């Protein structure tokens, strides 16, 4: 099965390099977490990998690049952006249905896909509710359900889910639920990329972590290889010792950070 592969990606805006020489692979059946400070280029990278933007230089290969047309892209990758402004008063079912239909769901399968996706994110019974009237966390979970329905509707072997700060508006329970969903999808062969600010959650969810700083890759590899004192300082400009309990699971305590 094909990966989404990037080689030496570069993108500049107003003469400033947002990404410079970034290479990575997002492989089927894994969770790749992208970390970095604000302005590191994380969301821009996701936009390039999703096909929403084009790089100034470098190469993208894999199912998204091969798809080319937006409708074809929607059948190999689903995207959950940081925020979504709705132009219409969608209820939860209608919004999730957009994802199922974009993924290629057969008409007779749409309703079950939508209800199952809402139940999976803890919103069983919310199908008829106006998304604009929901709390921020509830609305975020509806958008996650939309992406889930899209992924599950995809007809072919290539399926990817790209998440931009999917836990930002969620309480602890639903943060863990969201990452558990990502892990379950990966076990079914979906390639999942998640931009996360919480390094502890990234270590919990990721098969591999990619750290960005100033548009460049600082490190990439398994969590225990990337979340180290040196990489954290190079990525965030912060001296924050990394603990390990158990031995293979890095964690950080913000209370002991030093400038």
Global pTM? 0.93
In a domain, 218, yes or no: no
In a domain, 208, yes or no: no
In a domain, 128, yes or no: yes
* Residue 29 in tokens: 């059946």
In a domain, 230, yes or no: no
Phi, psi of 101 (to 5 degrees): -70, -40
**Do 113 and 105 form a contact (C-beta atoms < 8 A)?**
yes
Phi, psi of 112 (to 5 degrees): -70, -40
Domain extent, residue 117, equals 87-155
pLDDT tens for the chain, 259 residues long, are 599 999 999 999 988 999 999 999 999 999 999 999 999 999 999 999 999 999 999 999 999 999 989 999 999 999 999 877 777 889 999 999 999 999 999 999 999 999 999 999 999 999 999 999 999 999 999 999 999 999 999 998 999 999 999 999 899 999 999 999 999 999 999 999 999 999 999 999 999 999 999 999 999 999 999 999 999 999 999 998 888 766 667 877 776 666 5
Domain tally for the chain? 1
In a domain, 181, yes or no: no
**Do 155 and 75 form a contact (C-beta atoms < 8 A)?**
yes
In a domain, 142, yes or no: yes
For residue 221, list its beta bridge partners.
Answer: 209
């Amino acid at each position: 099965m094909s990966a989404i592969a990037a080689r030496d990606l570069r993108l500049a805006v107003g003469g400033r390099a947002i990404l410079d020489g970034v290479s990575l692979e997002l492989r089927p059946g894994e969770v790749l977490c992208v970390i970095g400070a604000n302005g590191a280029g994380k969301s821009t990278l996701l936009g390039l990998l999703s096909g929403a933007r084009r790089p100034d230089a470098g190469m993208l290969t894999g199912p998204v690049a091969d798809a080319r047309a937006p409708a074809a892209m929607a059948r190999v990758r689903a995207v959950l952006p940081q925020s979504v402004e709705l132009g219409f008063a969608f209820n939860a079912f209608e919004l999730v249905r957009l994802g199922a239909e974009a993924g290629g769901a057969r008409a007779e399968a749409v309703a079950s896909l939508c209800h199952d996706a809402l139940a999976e994110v803890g919103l069983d019974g919310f199908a008829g509710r106006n998304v604009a009237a929901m709390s921020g966390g509830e609305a975020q979970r509806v958008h996650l359900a939309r992406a889930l329905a899209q992924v599950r509707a995809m007809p072919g072997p290539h399926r990817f889910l790209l998440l931009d700060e999917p836990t930002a508006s969620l309480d602890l329970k639903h943060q863990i639920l969201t990452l558990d969903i990502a892990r379950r999808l990966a076990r079914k062969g979906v390639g999942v990329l998640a931009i996360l600010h919480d390094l502890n959650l990234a270590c919990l969810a990721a098969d591999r972590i990619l750290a960005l700083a100033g548009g460049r890759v600082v490190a990439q590899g398994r969590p225990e290889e990337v979340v180290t004192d040196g990489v954290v300082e190079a990525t965030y400009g912060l001296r924050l010792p990394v603990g390990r309990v158990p031995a293979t699971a890095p964690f950080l305590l913000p209370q002991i950070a030093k400038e």
